[in-house]
Amino acid sequence: MLDAALLKRALQVPMALEDGEEFTDVVTDSRAIVPGCLFVALKGEKFDGHRFVAQALEDGARAAVVSEVPEGVAADRCVVVPDTLTAYQQIASRYRLDKKGLTVIAITGSNGKTSTKDCIAAVLGERYRVIKTQANFNNEIGLPKTLLTIREDTEMAVVEMGMRGLGQIRAMKHIAYPDAAVITNVGDTHLELLGSLENIAKAKSEILEDFTPKNHAFLNGDDPRVSVMETGAAVHTYGIDSDADVKAVEISADGLRTVFTYRSRITGATQKVQLPLIGRHNVMNALAAVAVGEVYGVPDAAIARGLENLKMTGMRQEILHFGPVTVINDAYNASPASMEAALRTLGDVVKSQGKGRAIAVLADMLELGAHSQSGHAQVGTWCSQYGVTELVCYGPESRFMAEAAQKAGVPVHYAQDRGEAARVLARLVRPDDVVLLKGSHGMEVFKLIDEVFRKGDAAC
């Protein structure tokens, strides 16, 4: 129950609210007010929730958390705190800690957090009542938002933790107090902000701090920077190439599915899984879920069933069909590692269907800093390695990708912007083609779905 008594324990500030007053929800968006909720007036560089406190209370909010009482607002309906974001986090943390018997699984890593979260939630859902991070709400605002969706009957919470600098994972760990952690990998995402892969590894490993043998750490055994991370937790590894605790021993493509068999030292089981996703990287994500499921008592047959019925968060390898054309919408974000995985998957799909061309539509990978030129050039080389038939790319950094791909013999169509890329793609695509869409979220590659395929401009 979220009530005034919890608020007092969490915030430790004077307030006029009576202990018995309950809140139906905690809301930070004034457009989403529900009767009886608590409105938290967050403040940022381009917004200030204090402007909407009066309207929120008028619309039915029971009280508001503010850093100062806005003019014309009843002071007894306001809880004044030094910083409203910190207060939001404190409320969520206290709410989580009050849920006795709840287990929190936290996931971090450079790539694959959201897909791994979906896999783990699907597996645990075979035995437990589970909530998970929605979309990619994995920052200092999104994490509290997720924790506050925990209900009285919730048994497992699966949460993502993203970061853009040292210390941020540590801070989020002290909000969620996870019982277990999963680290998917260490890659070049946010390289511009942290300067080196060693710093990225250091930032990710913060999630393992202060763990004891009562906790569990699930580590990617195939990643040399992850597999050696030190922790006081009980460690369980998963992988394909390494001698991991949970290891995939047979992997094959079956249309738009991947069939694999894993062997486990955790339970001693050997289990076949039909994963409704394509690509080796998704097998790795699934293996993390297998390890988590086994440690928390989900039977191996139920683990396989959960993975076979998996529903993914949008724009993560979303397979779409427009007549005879297949589109792989993997356009939520991009780094060199995830670009390579997506290109490998594109080649696998074309090979599996036995006809058509592999068309890659790629845009800039942001936040690579000094490594941007080499990172984009590497992707261009991979286009040749993984059998891309036609490359369409746009963005200032993608010119390095275009140059490398062209040098490697791939036909390249470099566009000045997304609009030009849409026109090129519409002319280029033919029946049976498989089209990969990928780039950093800010490049809005996903909009090509509406601009080319749903609009009906494609020649197919």
Residue 372 assigned ligand-binding role: no
CA distance 454 to 51: 39
The CA–CA distances, whole Å, from 135 to 97, 256, 266, 425 equal 24, 23, 31, 28
**Amino acid letter at 421?**
A
Is there a contact between 105 and 12 (Cβ–Cβ < 8 Å)?
no
Residue 111 assigned ligand-binding role: yes
Report the interhelical angle of 336-353 vs 280-295 (nearest 10°).
Answer: 110
State the virtual CA torsion across 47, 53, 55, 59 in degrees, nearest 10: 120
Neighbours of 302 (CB within 10 A): 16
- 3-state class of 362 per DSSP? strand
Residue 109 assigned ligand-binding role: yes
β-partners of residue 275 are 258
Residue 375 assigned ligand-binding role: no
CA distance 45 to 32: 21
Is there a contact between 357 and 346 (Cβ–Cβ < 8 Å)?
no
The CA–CA distances, whole Å, from 60 to 55, 63, 77, 205 equal 9, 9, 12, 43
- 3-state class of 247 per DSSP? strand
Residue 149 assigned ligand-binding role: no
Q: Using the structure block, give the residue that is written with the tokens 């007092």.
A: 8
Is there a contact between 459 and 351 (Cβ–Cβ < 8 Å)?
no
Q: Pick out the residues of the known binding site.
A: 109-115
Q: Pick out the residues of the known binding site for ATP.
A: 109-115
